Amino acid sequence: MSGERVRRAPDTRLSSAADVAAAAGVSTATVSRTFNTPHKVAAPIRARVQDAAERLGWTANAAGRALASSRSYIAGAVIPTLDDQIFAAQVGAMQAAFATAGITLFLGCSNYDQTQALVHVRAMLARGVEALALVGEAYPEEVFTAIKARRVPYTVTYTHRPDSPHHCVGFSNRDAFHAITRHLLDLGHRRFGLIIQPTQDNDRVIARVAGVRDALDEQGLGLRLRHVHEGPWSIAFGRTSLRAIMQADGPRPTAIVCGNDYLAIGALLEAQALGIRVPTELSITGFDDVAMASQTTPGLTTMWIDNAEIGRLAAQDLLACLAGETPAPRPPLATTLIGRGSTAVVPHGQGG
Amino acid sequence: MSGERVRRAPDTRLSSAADVAAAAGVSTATVSRTFNTPHKVAAPIRARVQDAAERLGWTANAAGRALASSRSYIAGAVIPTLDDQIFAAQVGAMQAAFATAGITLFLGCSNYDQTQALVHVRAMLARGVEALALVGEAYPEEVFTAIKARRVPYTVTYTHRPDSPHHCVGFSNRDAFHAITRHLLDLGHRRFGLIIQPTQDNDRVIARVAGVRDALDEQGLGLRLRHVHEGPWSIAFGRTSLRAIMQADGPRPTAIVCGNDYLAIGALLEAQALGIRVPTELSITGFDDVAMASQTTPGLTTMWIDNAEIGRLAAQDLLACLAGETPAPRPPLATTLIGRGSTAVVPHGQGG
DNA sequence: TTGTAAGCGTTATCAC
DNA sequence: GTGATAACGCTTACAA
């Protein structure tokens, strides 16, 4: 059977532009033009080619097309995880925006692991992405050198630092948490607890903690170690953390800042389970404004970010790059404090 | 400036295998072998080539590679939306499984629109995906003919019909809702309400409604039109639907079956707002077992599906196809009824 | 408006 | 174990 040493059995071969050309009685150049620059082909010939293509079920082979035109019509997004709605929303909107421009999106989840992120970026570059969006900027240097070596436009999302070397589409995580903390300070709170996601390899969470500390520091206040809990962003971790904080020795905090709404909902539920009245005895804040945040009793004071808008704008800027433009640096996006029932003025005599 | 009519300015050109070959003093064939079949290259030469490649920052061009090897190392997933955690979980797991096999994943969201799904499938096929996973099977015929014309292996997920013409990785939506309804029937309920997602173009939801109707039918029961509400799967729609059902003329239902947990949480909250005691006066069921389902008071009786497992298994079967195997048809995956506090025996005297 | 033909950057075959 | 060289399927100057 050595006669069969062909790359692909003949009966398995898909039709090529040459087949279509033959069927339509034209050259492959005309086939190409029919689909890429139809106005350059006479109508009757165009019709003949389209007909032949349809009959043969032909669509241009992506590899050949990419090789000849050096366009892949592919972009890539690297996010920590789809389990968190905020990234899911971002990717969904980005995918939609790219799709309207004829660009298909690769998805890579790093699971908050820099190494996995690097592997995804490498794989995407190797597959010829024309643009790349990355959540955050806490990546190994090689991520950025590899991207730059390929001259692929990229943007960093969900975060914004004025002095970042990268194009950013996001908000200042530090300022957002500074504002939340200020809100509580303005209500008279002086003793704070903090329940937050893992800071490891996560520039956004690190910035959030800095925002809280800065706001407190401006008032000469600080966080006690036993009132700070760092762990998985789950309702369960919110519960156990709240319990631990409220049962620790010494004066209790009157306000708990949480890194996201899940942690805050957990804290709220646990406070209620402990018989601590919210907001009378304890104020609690979240972040993200998930659907449940408005449904708890009391409603959760939180901060709303337009994650879909982040995805859309990131795609928009990257598409501009592909069009040869240089998008202007973006100012940080707005964050909106949503005041609900879970925060109130500090209990009488506790404003110390 | 007509002298610049080059496809790419020379200083912009990335290095090619030929450059690496020249730098290492070997042929391009050896460069290729060094990275694809290293054992076929003598160690010292291999080292020289790797060194040269690293120095020049070279990685094989995807298009050239795909063209020559007819492998793209790309698969695609088409889902309705990432806004729903169940699909996000599925895609996340699928992406991870493919990544370990060196396959990068395209993501396309149809927004429950068959036309958009078709556009995504076409785009992915045009970009040379080696395999495809689709949520559900309610697509225009052209989706499947296009996939088959390209001879791309594919699977349908999140659903399972014994007589489906497609490879399925999922569960029986009909049987799952039949089981939920049976659970309520066994508790003595005879009057049911149904709050469900849009059935349009959604084979899963249609099957769920059929499951409820079949279970009721077996007892000679039916659903009253005014007790059936179809709309967006949001907490808000759950609330308004529950209110409308309970305020409709005639005898009230004693059990409300909801198409997912969000609808059920809305129904539960609204029942409480109306002063209707759950489960004493009214039983409510959800579907999916989202994080909040165990945190409401009472906890929500719901059904758990291992969505990540669906994604993993789908990837596994598709990878098997790429390896030349033919995966066996899968039996439907298990669904697990999670009994919590939102369901109880029918109120005395209401069992019809 | 259309055809000719030269790439695009790999991989795979074959001869050495 | 290594090097020539012919594909792979398309796009795009340029010529006609």
pLDDT of B12 strictly over 60: no
Residue B27 identity: S
Query: Residue B310 contacts by C-beta under 8 Å, 6 or more apart in sequence?
Result: B90, B93, B157, B158, B169, B170, B333
CB contact under 8 A, B109 and A96: yes
> Once rounded to an integer, what is the mean pLDDT over residues B31-47?
90
Q: What percentage of chain B carries pLDDT values higher than 70?
A: 95
The dihedrals phi and psi of A78, each to the nearest 5 degrees, come to -115, 120
Cβ contact (<8 Å) for B151 and A105? no
Average pLDDT estimate for A213-238 = 97
What's the DSSP call for residue A327?
P
Kindly report the average pLDDT of chain A as a whole number: 92
How far is C-alpha B179 from the geometric centre of its chain's CA atoms?
Answer: 22
- The whole-model pTM stands at 0.90
Please name the residue of chain A whose CA is at the shortest distance from the CA of residue B291: A235
* Minimal C-alpha gap between A222 and chain B (Å): 32
Helix pair A62-69, B62-69: axis angle to 10 deg: 140
Query: CA A154, CA A171: separation in Å to the nearest integer?
Result: 17
B351 pLDDT more than 80: no
pLDDT confidence of A15, banded at 50, 70, 90?
confident
Mean predicted confidence (pLDDT) in A194-205: 96
Question: Cα A331–A337–A338 angle (5° rounding)?
Answer: 140
What phi-psi label fits residue A178: left (phi over 0), alpha (psi between -120 and 50 degrees) or beta?
alpha
Note whether A82 contacts B60, CB cutoff 8 Å.
no
Q: Give chain A's largest Cα–Cα span.
A: 93
Q: What pLDDT is stored for residue A324 in this prediction?
A: 86
pLDDT averaged over every residue in chain B: 92
pLDDT reported for residue A351: 65
What pLDDT digit, counting tens, does each position of A235-264 carry?
999 999 999 999 999 999 999 999 999 999
pLDDT digits (tens, 9 = 90+) for B294-333: 999 999 999 999 999 999 999 999 999 998 899 999 999 9
- H-only helix segments in chain A: 17-24, 28-36, 43-56, 62-69, 85-100, 114-126, 141-149, 173-186, 203-218, 235-247, 261-273, 307-322
φ and ψ at residue A327, rounded to 5 degrees: -60, 140
Chain segment B81-122, per-residue pLDDT in tens: 999 999 999 999 999 999 999 999 999 999 999 999 999 999
Tokens read off for A34: 């029919």
User: How does pLDDT run across A41-77, given as a tens digit for each residue?
Assistant: 899 999 999 999 988 888 888 889 988 888 899 999 9
Q: Per residue in A277-321, pLDDT tens?
A: 999 999 999 999 999 999 999 999 999 999 999 999 999 999 999
Averaged pLDDT for residues B130-146: 95
Contacts of B139 (CB under 8 A, 6+ apart): B114, B117, B118, B121
For A269, name the nearest residue in chain B, comparing CA atoms only.
B295
Mean pLDDT throughout B27-34? Answer: 91
The pLDDT assigned to A8 comes to 35
| Protein residue at shortest CA distance from C1' of D3 | B27
* A3: pLDDT strictly greater than 60: no
* Residue in the block written with tokens 């708890």: A296
- Contact residues for A69 (Cβ-Cβ < 8 A; gap 6+): none
User: Beta partners for A256?
Assistant: A193, A284
Lowest mean pLDDT among A179-183, B66-70, B76-80: B66-70
Interface touch B291/A235, C-beta < 8 Å: yes
Q: Are B254 and B227 in contact (CB under 8 A)?
A: no
**What tokens were used for B169?**
């990785």
Instruction: Give, in Å, how far the C1' of C16 lies from the CA of B34.
Output: 20
User: In the predicted model, is pLDDT for residue B35 greater than 50?
Assistant: yes
Those of residues 186-245 in B touching chain A at CB distance below 8 A are 234-235
**With an 8 Å Cβ cutoff, is A262 touching chain B?**
yes
A124 CA to D14 C1' in angstroms comes to 35
pLDDT digits (tens, 9 = 90+) for B264-277: 999 999 999 999 99
Q: Which one-letter DSSP state was computed for residue A74?
A: E
The DSSP element (H or E) to which B179 belongs, if any, is helix B173-186
Predicted pLDDT at B162: 87
The rounded distance, in Å, linking the Cα atoms of B300 and B265 is 8
Q: Which residues make up the interface with nucleic strand D when CB must lie under 7 A?
A: A 7-8, 13-14, 16-18, 28-29, 31-33, 35-36, 58, 60-61, 63-65, 67-69; B 5, 7, 25-30, 33, 40-42, 44-46, 64, 67-68, 70
Instruction: Find the CB nearest A62 among B14, B127, B149.
Output: B127
CA B293 to chain centre: 20
pLDDT at A108 over 80: yes
Under an 8 A CB cutoff, do B150 and A14 touch? yes
- Cβ(B144)–Cβ(B164) below 8 Å: no
Cα(A135)–Cα(A157) distance, integer angstroms: 5
Q: How many angstroms away from the CA of A20 is the closest CA of chain B? A: 15
Q: pLDDT above 90 covers what percent of chain A? A: 82
Across the interface, whether the CB atoms of A62 and B59 are under 8 A apart is answered no
Identity of the residue numbered A54: E
Structure tokens at A271: 């406070």
Indicate whether B153 pLDDT > 70: yes
Q: Residue A352 has what pLDDT? A: 55
- In order of A62, B8, B16, the CA distances from B4 in angstroms are 27, 9, 21
State yes or no: pLDDT of A4 exceeds 70: no
Give Cα separations from B231 to B197, B236, B237, B259 (angstroms): 5, 10, 7, 10
Q: How far is A183 from chain B (nearest CA, A)?
A: 27
Q: Which of A94, A149, A93, A97 is closest to A121 using CA atoms?
A: A149
Helix (H) or strand (E) holding B141: helix B141-149
Residue with tokens 């036993």: A226
Residues, CB < 7 Å to strand C? A 5, 7, 25-30, 33, 39-42, 44-46, 64, 67-68, 70; B 7, 13-14, 16-18, 28-29, 31-32, 35-36, 58, 60-61, 63-65, 67-69
Report whether pLDDT(B40) > 80: yes
Q: How confident is the model at residue A34 (pLDDT cuts 50, 70, 90)?
A: very high
